[in-house]
């Protein structure tokens, strides 16, 4: 097997990505740990994989998510250290929200930085995820009392690229009204508001402003879920959805216990939103985080007051939502559209391209300054 796929937290989007890669890359082997006790997976999974991944001369490329401490694994297994090492970020721990800075466990973000330093290629599911990680690095290391490392973001940035999390969308054409099908057929969707190339869970709340015929409004692991689709509006809820990522101050989803202090949301790739839009929902998203990368300005709001006014307007005129075809081409984020890029980054050609780019950056940086430096050229 030439491609070694390692997932220390085999569940949700992490599982979906590994399964898609394994199914579509013939020469691949998969080693995983169950999606339980996330903190312990981040702390100790390298030791488990050290003992349970057999040695093989056939391995050429290793791909792991950032839950794994890749630096520990390659130190414990030098044979794996010789492979081309690709790290994929579903989320990043440098900006993962906490109520107080003192509550942040430094070790998790530190592990991710170390993993980036030993990786040959670092992939992020969105520009927001990548930039928030790189630009937060200097402030993150201020927690060290003295002898702090410098310019680590410059060392890592030259390895980084955005490669969206790929989605397998269900075929919902038989559920969609004719005007939305026509729009899809013409291919006239806008891909994003900014033109920028682009899990923790990013589910939203479906609010139906008026009743209509029973169609599809969302998806599940099994496929489309029937509900009142034509009038469905997708809006961001003020708290997290998944219980294992919900801070103690957050009430359970759907509870009404009065005002509660809420930490910021951590949405770095909203694949559940894209699934819902693919099924015909109208999105209303915060003008923040990852959303402006994907959704044009007409689907964004800046304040709760703006959101309230938009929802009131839709309640008065539900036909606006029913007749609207969302200007986002969800096909750009499908597995079919992204498959070749994943194959390329896991190929021998992808290795040589990365090495050449890093060598050029290092050579240009040295000649420009007359001596080696931590900062490569071409930093975006």
Please report the DSSP string for 95-127 in residue order.
S---SSGGGS-HHHHHHHHHHHHH-SEEEESSH
Residue 83 in 3-state DSSP? Answer: coil
Pairing of strands 233-235, 282-286: parallel
At 270, phi and psi to the nearest 5?
A: -90, 70
> What six digits make up the tokens of 60?
């050429």
The residue ranges of the chain whose pLDDT is under 50 are 188-231, 237-264, 351-354, 356-380
DSSP state of 244: G
Backbone φ and ψ for 267, nearest 5 degrees, come out as -110, 110
d(CA 32, CA 292): 34
- Given this model, what pLDDT does residue 266 score? 55
pLDDT value for 160:
98
**CA 150, 155, 158 angle in degrees (round to 5)?**
150
Tokens coding 59: 């391995």
How far is 167 from 275, CA to CA, in rounded Å? 8
Q: Do the beta carbons of residue 295 and residue 193 sit within 8 Å?
A: yes
Helix (H) and strand (E) counts in the chain: 15, 12
- Give the separation between CA 300 and CA 302, rounded to whole angstroms: 7
| Cα–Cα separations (whole angstroms), residue 51 to 84, 111, 118, 162, 197 | 20, 20, 20, 32, 39
Pure H helices in 62-188: 70-76, 78-81, 106-118, 127-135, 137-140, 152-157, 178-186
- In this prediction the pTM is 0.73
Rounded CA-CA distance 189/175 in Å is 19
Q: What is the pLDDT of residue 270?
A: 80
Calculate the alpha carbon distances from 168 to 14, 16, 205, 224 in Å: 14, 9, 21, 12
Q: Hey, what are 58's tokens?
A: 């056939």
pLDDT of residue 175: 76
Calpha distance 208→281 (Å, rounded)? 10
- Positive or negative torsion for Cα 67, 70, 72, 77: positive
């Amino acid at each position: 097997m030439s491609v070694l796929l390692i997932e220390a937290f085999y569940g949700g989007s992490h599982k979906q990505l590994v399964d898609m890669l394994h199914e579509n890359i013939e020469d691949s082997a998969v080693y995983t740990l169950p999606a339980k006790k996330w903190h312990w997976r981040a702390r100790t999974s390298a030791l488990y994989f050290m003992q349970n991944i057999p040695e093989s001369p056939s391995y050429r490329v290793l791909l792991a998510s950032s839950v794994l401490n890749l630096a520990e694994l390659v130190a414990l297994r030098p044979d794996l250290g010789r492979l081309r090492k690709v790290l994929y970020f579903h989320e990043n721990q440098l900006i993962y929200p906490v109520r107080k800075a003192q509550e942040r466990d430094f070790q998790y973000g530190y592990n991710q930085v170390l993993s980036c330093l030993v990786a040959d290629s670092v992939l992020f599911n969105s520009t927001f995820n990548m930039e928030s990680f790189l630009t937060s690095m200097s402030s993150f290391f201020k927690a060290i009392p003295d002898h702090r490392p410098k310019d680590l973001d410059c060392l890592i940035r030259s390895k980084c690229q955005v490669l969206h999390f790929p989605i397998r969308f269900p075929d919902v054409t038989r559920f969609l009204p004719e005007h939305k099908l026509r729009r899809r057929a013409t291919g006239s969707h806008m891909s994003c508001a900014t033109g920028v190339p682009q899990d923790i869970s990013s589910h939203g709340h479906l609010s139906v402003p008026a009743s209509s015929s029973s169609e599809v409004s969302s998806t599940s692991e099994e496929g489309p879920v029937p509900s009142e689709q034509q009038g469905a509006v997708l809006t961001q809820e003020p708290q997290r959805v998944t219980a294992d990522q919900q801070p103690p101050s957050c009430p359970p989803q759907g509870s009404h216990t009065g005002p509660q202090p809420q930490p910021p949301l951590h949405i770095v790739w909203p694949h559940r939103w894209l699934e819902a839009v693919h099924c015909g929902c109208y999105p209303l998203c915060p003008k923040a985080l990852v959303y402006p990368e994907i959704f044009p300005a007409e689907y964004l709001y800046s304040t709760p007051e703006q959101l309230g006014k938009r929802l009131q307007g839709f309640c008065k005129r539900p036909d606006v939502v029913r007749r609207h075809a969302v200007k986002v081409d969800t096909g750009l984020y499908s597995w079919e559209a992204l498959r070749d890029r994943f194959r390329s980054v896991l190929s021998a050609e992808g290795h040589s391209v990365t090495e050449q780019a890093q060598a050029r950056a290092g050579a240009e940086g040295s000649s420009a300054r007359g001596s080696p430096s931590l900062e490569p050229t071409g930093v975006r």
